A = this chain, B = another copy of it.
């Protein structure tokens, strides 16, 4: 399944392949510091980068608050430029210290690193384009890079494999939910639109149906007729029940993934995923335990 290729491999394993050949040079020291977390310098670099990214995201948020942004407009502008310079230098250093700059630039993390600085340069030329603001929040994705330090990575890999296993079933389920919302929304439009401004069109009614099926229930649109309330009650109970479907799918997926991870590999062919009561390897047919 091609989806499995979306999961980035463990960075400590993959990026080593891009380590420069020279030993003991500044370039190799730089590579170890920036890309690995085995030395003290490397750990300090990771922590510094983590703090920088978080404070940059906090800055982005504060800039959008009217009161604050008006008072400190000048300060924000300067800080924006400072962050841009730091992240640009970091990107250039990464390009410099890897064996193949092209391989890094086209890798998963390389693209993320570029997306973290590119929008700021674009804003320099087209300052009125607000859409760049959102692209800047791609910087958050860089936090995943820091995660190689901690052991959470394995957990997120198990979770992602479980998600991918249940993915197609959940897509089918969501398609049914969407059909249901279109259907129920159209029905509610017929019933309510003459008595209730909230159901003024079918798209609006479908929006209401999604708000209701997912049990969000803003209350900005709510039925007023008796018939509408009966249909709404039916939709709510339906939404309340069918939430069990994706949950069942995911439970089965996680249980399966955990079982698969649990088994010791076969001593003869290294195949994993044997069930707890297996006596013979399911791949090579030899005894699992002597």
Interface residues of A (CB under 8 A from B): 57, 60-61, 63-66, 130-131, 133-134, 137, 140-141, 143, 151-152, 155-156, 158-159, 162-163, 166, 168-174, 177-179, 182-183, 186-187, 189-190, 193, 200-204, 206-207, 210-220, 222, 226, 229, 232-233, 236-237, 239-241, 243-256, 258, 260, 272-287
Contacts and interface: CB of A to CB of B under 8 A. Distances in A.
Contact of A245 (B159, B213, B214, B281): B159
A277 to B, nearest CB: 7
Given A61-B202, A63-B202, A66-B200, 8 more contacts: A65-B200, A152-B168, A152-B172, A214-B240, A215-B216, A260-B275, A280-B285, A281-B282
A17 to B, nearest CB: 26
A187 B136 CA distance: 11
Interface of A is mostly: helix
A203 B226 contact: yes
B251 A255 contact: yes
Contacts of A159: 169, 172-173, 245, 249
Nearest to A249: B254
A207 B179 contact: no
B279 A280 contact: no
Contacts of A220: 219, 222
